[in-house]
A = this chain, B = another copy of it.
Amino acid sequence: MNKLIQYSQGELIISTSGQQMYEITKDLNTWLNKEQINHGQLTIFIQHTSASLCIQENASEDVIEDILHFFKKLVPENISLYKHNLEGPDDMPAHIKSMLTQTSLIIPISNKKMNLGTWQGIFLIEHRSSSMKRKINLTLMGKPEK
Interface residues of A (CB under 8 A from B): 3-7, 9, 39-41, 43, 45-50, 54-57, 60, 62-63, 65-67, 70, 74-75, 81-84, 92, 95-96, 98-108, 110, 115-117, 119-120, 135, 137, 139, 141-143
Contacts and interface: CB of A to CB of B under 8 A. Distances in A.
A107 B4 CA distance: 22
Instruction: Determine chain A's interface SS by DSSP, over half rule.
Output: mixed
A103 B67 contact: no
A71 B110 CA distance: 34
A127 to B, nearest CB: 12
A110 B11 CA distance: 13
A115 B5 contact: no
B7 A40 contact: yes
Contact of A45 (B46, B101, B103, B115): B115
Given A84-B66, A107-B104, A139-B108, A41 B43 contact: yes
Nearest to A43: B106
B7 A117 contact: no
B106 A106 contact: yes
B83 A62 contact: yes
Closest 10 CB pairs of A and B: A47-B117, A62-B84, A62-B83, A49-B57, A55-B103, A108-B137, A66-B82, A5-B5, A104-B106, A63-B84
B39 A9 contact: yes
Given A9-B110, A117-B135, A142-B7, A56 B49 contact: yes
